[in-house]
Structure 1
Amino acid sequence: MAAKSREECVYLAKVAESAERYTEMLEYVKGAIRYSNARLTIEERSLLSVAYKNLTGSLRNGWRSVAHIEEMEGPKVSRHELALIQKERLGIEREVAVVCEDVLQLLSTTLILAACPGDETVFYYKMQGDYYRYLAELARGDSRKSYAALSLDAYKLAYKLALSTLEATHPTRLGLALNFAVYYRDVLNSPERAVHLAKHAFDEAVATLDQVPESTYRDSLLILQLLRDDLILWLKEIQERDELEAKALS
């Protein structure tokens, strides 16, 4: 039965989330978008993000598994078996692309156009950067370059807006910094730039942590912990790479 109001859409989206039925969850959130003239509350935006994140998350995990099998087993198996592995990988890539293109169209044609400056606009441009990044991670050649450029443009715009409109400890700004840093690390293969961005965001937020509103303290702290963990990992990667290069030159 179709939801008859914005409130019903939100309630059923939560029920679908509890049941891990993310396709249905997304349809209910889209219903809320129609009933609200594309102006979503923080809770509704969170539901939208959760729905898309779960729909793409399982697919991206599956893609990584198949890509790993292809890399490790490719030289050992027959041509026919390798073709089967590649067919499976390409099938997952098409499924990921369908979901990414859906969210990107929703953002560009509806949500961004209706958004107010500040948190709402930053949130949507961050999402745009994220889903172009997902497409870039799976693509090759010119397609990868194109998606990477679109992702970078969205992240840059979101970050510029975040710096001018959101506090350093705001969860949306911190989440953007985290994902933008991941972009530099995973798409551009530049852990140095990832570290620079993440450390700047981390240090600025920690300096004013005592001013964080109680309503967002837990969210801000969680993202700060993720930033710290990634910083430790990336700094270790840089150190290990530099040591290998030094050994090669000695």
Structure 2
Amino acid sequence: MYFAELTSPEVDSLRSGSRTPVLLLPVGAVEPHGPHAPLGTDPLISQGMCERAARRLDGDPEVRALILPALPYGVTQFARGFAGGVHIAAETLFALVTDVCRALAEQGLDRVVIVNNHFEPEHVATLRRAAESVGAAYLDLVRRRNAERLTDEFRSGSCHAGRYETSLVLADRPDLVDTAAMRELPAVPVDLPSAMRAGQSDFRDMGMNAAYCGAPAEATAAEGAETFETLTTMLVETIRAKAKGAC
């Protein structure tokens, strides 16, 4: 399922095979996710979605999904002042994504789906612009039609390293969550979209003094597994649409 594990002749054969190849590009950011969750939470979720979608489509007669090496760095300035954040400029992200997509398109592999789980506005806007520029599909989870299929906490906007994201990490890599610290964390209700619209761009200004919001103490691996099922269904729908040229 991993593009970079194929040989050059195997990639060459993708173009003449009976199954339409769709390449998945996991994207995220390296940034603080509270005192309990890993810096790489966002790309971990994106990678988990891609792996589950590729497995679900394994053996599909029409579509072959392959996972490109992830782009783990993103536009992440809201967490400045906390240790561990690695910010890249929007134009750097734009260039990385478009260069990768164009390099693939030059080889006849022009069906790419961008899979992102870092929702800082400038990061999302950059990925939308990049996808439009190169004709890639972008599974935009913050669009209302998609967000409505996810959990209550996600829809509330109070979900950075909270119950929603922490549950997903527990379902995929429980060894990376400090569950003792997680259980002691009080809920921090912050409407991130409203705060962003009001011009706030710093976690501490939003009341996120420990770089999280929501209710991480309520996170469970079971909820994470269920959410992954929903996310995977959404991604498979996007893959099939891209294979047919519908997006």
TM-score normalised by the chain length of structure 2: 0.29
Give TM-score scaled by structure 1 length: 0.29
Larger Rg: 1
Higher strand share: 2
- Higher helix proportion: 1
